[in-house]
Amino acid sequence: MLKVAALVGSIRQDSYNMKLTQFMQERYNSQLNIEIINIRDLPHYDQDIEHDLPVQVQTFKQQVHDVDAFLLVTPEFNHSIPGVLKNALDWLSRGEREMAGKPVMIAGATMGMLGTVRAQMHLRQILNAPGMGAKVMPGNEILVGAVQGKINEENKLTDPKTIEFIDSVVNQFVVWADKELEFSHQ
C-alpha cells in the first residue's frame, strides 16, 4: 500500500478541500495510506534559516521524508495556489528535496465551475521546477467544481458522478505510482 502525504492548501476551518482530502483518506484506505500533514504553522521560507531549520520545518520534513507519494489538494486563489501551499513546497524544494522523484496526484475543489483548473496548472509548473523534481501523474487531475452542491449536511462528498470520477483517477494513480516507484528502485 502506498504511503501518501497529503498537503491541503486551504487552512480555513470549514475547507471544502480538506473535506475532499478526508473523503479520499477514508474511501481509498485499502489502496492508499493517506496522512494529512499540517502546513498551517510553517514559517515563511527564508534562505537565511534553511541551514538551521526551525522546529516546525524539521518536523514537517520528517513527516514527509519516507512517504511513497504525495497528494496535493488546492483551492484556487486569484487563479493560482494559496501562499500557504506554495510556502510548504518551497521548504520541500530545499535541502533533501523530499518530493524529488516521487509520484504526485493533484486535486482541488471550488464553489466555481472550473474546479481549480488554473491553480492546478500553476501547481504543475511549480512541481516541474528543478528544485522540486516531482513526478506528476499526467493528464489526470481531480477537479471538483460547484462543490457546495456535492457535499451533504454531514460534510461528506455524495455526488455519484464525482465519486465515480475520483475512483477512476485514484485507481489510475495507484497503478502509475507503483510503476514509477518500481522503475525508480531499479
Give the bridge partners for 70, in sequence order: 5, 104
How far is Cα 74 from Cα 71, in angstroms, rounded to an integer?
A: 10
Name the band, by pLDDT with cuts 50, 70 and 90, for residue 97: very high
Name the band, by pLDDT with cuts 50, 70 and 90, for residue 141: confident
Q: What percent of the chain has pLDDT over 70?
A: 99
pLDDT of 115 > 90? The answer is: no
Give the tens place of pLDDT for each residue, 118-134.
Answer: 999 999 999 999 999 99
Cα-based distances in Å from 7 to 21, 85, 153, 160, 186: 9, 7, 25, 25, 28
pLDDT of 153 > 90? The answer is: no
CB atoms within 10 A of CB 137: 17
How far is Cα 171 from Cα 94, in angstroms, rounded to an integer?
A: 31
Q: Residue 150 class from Cβ within 10 Å (0-12 exposed, 13-18 middle, 19+ buried)?
A: buried
> What's the grid cell of residue 19?
473535506
Question: Could you tell me the residue range of the domain that residue 162 belongs to?
Answer: 2-184
Please state the rounded mean pLDDT for residues 85-100: 97
pLDDT of 185 > 80? The answer is: no
How far is Cα 44 from Cα 28, in angstroms, rounded to an integer?
A: 32
Query: What letters, b where the CB count within 10 A reaches 16 and e where it falls short, cover 92-101?
Result: bbbeeebbee
- Dihedral, CA atoms, 94, 98, 104, 108, nearest 10 degrees? -60
Q: What CATH number does the domain containing 91 carry?
A: 3.40.50.360
- Single-letter code of the amino acid located at 152: N
Name the band, by pLDDT with cuts 50, 70 and 90, for residue 114: confident
Mean residue pLDDT across the chain: 95
Minimum mean pLDDT range among 15-24, 68-77, 79-88, 146-155 = 146-155
How far is Cα 182 from Cα 17, in angstroms, rounded to an integer?
A: 30
User: What pLDDT does 37 receive?
Assistant: 98
Give the tens place of pLDDT for each residue, 32-68.
Answer: 999 999 999 999 999 999 999 999 999 999 999 999 9
User: What pLDDT does 169 receive?
Assistant: 97
Cα-based distances in Å from 161 to 28, 64, 110, 119, 177: 17, 32, 16, 23, 24
Q: Model pTM?
A: 0.96
Structural domain tally of the chain? 1
